[in-house]
Amino acid sequence: MEQRFADYLDRVRAHRAELGEAIRALEDSLALPPEPVEVWRRRVRASLTELAHDLRDHVALTEAPDGLYADLVDTAPRLSSAVDAQLADHRYFLDEVNRLLDDRDSGEAGLDTARHRAAIEAVLARLMQHRQRGSDLIHSAYEVDIGGSG
């Protein structure tokens, strides 16, 4: 593997760790007692905002023309359908997290906190699957482990 791409994978690893921290922060916020409800909502909103930021960075990093997914398709064309699934996940995550933030801002989330929590938990569950598939893709194409804990 050329040094430039190895350095790029190091950036992917570092960003993966940041995204993992944002996920844990959101999980921790969701786990807070829901009373007083305004405190819970502010914490969840802050954590969801950080996740949205890290997701946008993740998409920009991995979907760049010379980024991870373009290289995966070039290096291992057999993985192109799995890459397509990852790209579809990106669209879902960006749309869904923005929708959840909009619900919170419009007051919709305050009407049904349990529904809002369940929707966030569904995003987090799918995000964990996405991260595992991403690790598996990288390992399949490059025989490199980018870390499963970050």
pLDDT of the residue at 150: 47
Say if residues 94 and 56 touch (Cβ distance below 8 Å). Answer: yes
How many angstroms separate the CA atoms of 38 and 51, rounded?
Answer: 20
Return d(Cα 35, Cα 132) in angstroms, integer: 34
The strand ranges marked E within 8-138 are none
Q: Could you identify the residue written with the tokens 């992917």? A: 12
What tens digit of pLDDT does each residue of 58-101 get?
A: 999 999 998 999 999 998 999 999 999 999 999 999 999 999 99
Low-confidence ranges of the chain (pLDDT < 70): 1, 107-111, 147-150
- pLDDT of 5: 86
